[in-house]
Every structure is written in structure tokens, then in C-alpha cells.
Amino acid sequence: MPIYRTEGVILRCRDFRESSKIVECYTRDYGKVTLVAKGAKRPKSRLGGAVDLLNRIELVFYYKETREIQTLSQAEILDAFEDLRGDLRQFSIAVSLCEFLDAVEAREHPNVRLYSQLVQSLEELSGVRQPELVLYQFVWRWLSGAGFRPRFRRCMACGRQPDRGPVQFAIGRGGFFCANCRRPESTGRDLSLAALRLLLWMRDRQVSELKGIKADPDTIAEVEHLTWEFLRYHTETTRPLRSLSFLRKIGQDEKERREADVQSTDRCKADG
Ligand SMILES: [Zn+2]
């Protein structure tokens, strides 16, 4: 039985029998692999400490082609992303990123570029002022890589870059009509120029460049809606996602948080 050594990020963990765990790990060289970590729940297990959600680990596993679940033999922590674990919002976004990848990626499809995007996103997340943008950027870049590259730059009818909004984004066609070329009969979604530019910017930039960004909350809300709808439209038909609710939930949490911020600002104003 061949034995493989690589590194990976743990996307999901669940208990298995009395003392073991089953782990979904997105590895650099083999894509997503499902592993059993035997005895990982025992207090003295060497695997137990390393096998935890979000950890980036160096791992060795036994591979058998006929099996869906491979056997983890060694695991060492390379990065536990401690700074993310101390912040509930950042942590929940990091977990959503893992859930997303777990939901959309089939087993054993290696993609080194996707792996480095995942690691970079987790590394940069704590330094970004609006961490939800890291998740949306990851989703759009994943969509582009998976063949659903949207057209955010030029109008599908006249080919011009828009100078005023809102544009009409046609989800099924993966592009937009500018304000001059809007189709009255089409069921496109209105998108502000700011949201369109943010989407284009995010799709084509590195995650490290998100650090300098501070977007308007309404623009982020537009991006969130479009991300969710686009993802649902294009992926549910080709490969059903286990769940999209996490992305929805992030959007709702952000909305509630913004409303709470507005209320507390109003209270401060009233007090002052
Ligand atoms: Zn046009």
C-alpha cells in the first residue's frame, strides 16, 4: 500500500467509533482526502493534538485506491491559526471557508493553486478589516477557476465599461447590461457601480490586497446577495452543494451586526 506525505488544511472533523476521528483534509498534492485518525480521541494519541478543524498540518497517510477513507499515520501542526481562534467573527468566516471548500470540491482532485489560495486566505484573514470579503473573494476565485468566470468589466451588449449604475446583472448569463442597454423583459438583478467594481477588483486581486479595503456596508450586502445567488444558480445544477446555508448565515450575521452598530451609534448620539 503506497504511503504519501504532503501538507493540508483540516476542513471538517467528526468522531468515529469510541476513540477515532474522521477528517476531511484539503491537501496540497492530492486535493480533498477523507482520513481516519485511529485512536485520535485517546488522551495520549500523537494524532489527537494535530487533528483539529482549521489546522494546517504536515501529514503522512496510507492510500488504497479502492477505499474512500484513507488511514492517517502521522500528523504535525504547521499552523493552528491561533490569532483567528481568538476572534469569533474571524473564526466563523475561516470555518465557512473550510465548509465551502468541503462542499464544492470532489475527493482527490489536486489543485495546488487552490490550496495556496486557501492557506493565504487563512493567513491574511486576521489583518483584513472586513473579513467577510476574504470569503467572498475566495468564492469568486473558486468560481472563476471552476469555469464559471463572471464578466464584471464590460457590458454584454455594447462592450463598454459602465460609467453609471445600476447595471443589470443577468445571473444565468454570467454578465451584466449597462444602464443604456438594460433589458426591460430580463429578470436581471440591479447592481450598483460600487458593487460591480468591488466584485471585479476582488476577482482579479490577491487576498493580501484586501487589507487596504474598506467598503461601504450596503455595497458588501449587494456583493453578498449576488455571491450567494450566483453560486446557487451555477453550482446546484452541476454539482449539488451539501449546504449553502453558511454563506447565507454570514450575510445575515453581518446585517444584524451592522444594525446593532447603527442602533448603538444612534443611542450615543441621543445620549450626547
Ligand atoms: Zn451596454
102-136, pLDDT tens digit by residue? 988 889 999 999 999 999 999 999 988 888 899 99
For ligand 1, the distance from its centroid to the CA atom of residue 223, given in whole angstroms, is: 21
pLDDT value, residue 89: 83
- Delimit the CATH 2.40.50.140 region(s) of the chain: 1-122
For ligand 1, the distance from its centroid to the CA atom of residue 80, given in whole angstroms, is: 48
Model-level pTM greater than 0.85? yes
For ligand 1, the distance from its centroid to the CA atom of residue 162, given in whole angstroms, is: 7
Query: Does residue 181 surpass a pLDDT of 80?
Result: yes
Report residues near ion ligand 1: CB below 5 Å. 155, 157-158, 178, 181
Q: Strand (E) positions, 17-150?
A: 20-27, 31-37, 56-62, 69-79
Contact status, residue 21 vs residue 41, Cβ threshold 8 Å: yes
Place of cell 495546488: 112
Give the CATH superfamily of 1-122: Nucleic acid-binding proteins (2.40.50.140)
Fold (topology level) of 128-271: de novo design (two linked rop proteins) (1.20.1440)
7-57, pLDDT tens digit by residue? 999 999 999 999 999 999 999 999 999 999 999 999 889 898 899 999 999
For ligand 1, the distance from its centroid to the CA atom of residue 135, given in whole angstroms, is: 30
What is the CB-side half-sphere exposure of residue 252 using CA atoms within 13 A?
A: 6
Higher pLDDT, 104 or 58: 58
pLDDT value, residue 262: 65
- Delimit the CATH 1.20.1440 region(s) of the chain: 128-271
* Mean pLDDT of the 132-143 span: 92
pLDDT value, residue 231: 86
For ligand 1, the distance from its centroid to the CA atom of residue 165, given in whole angstroms, is: 11
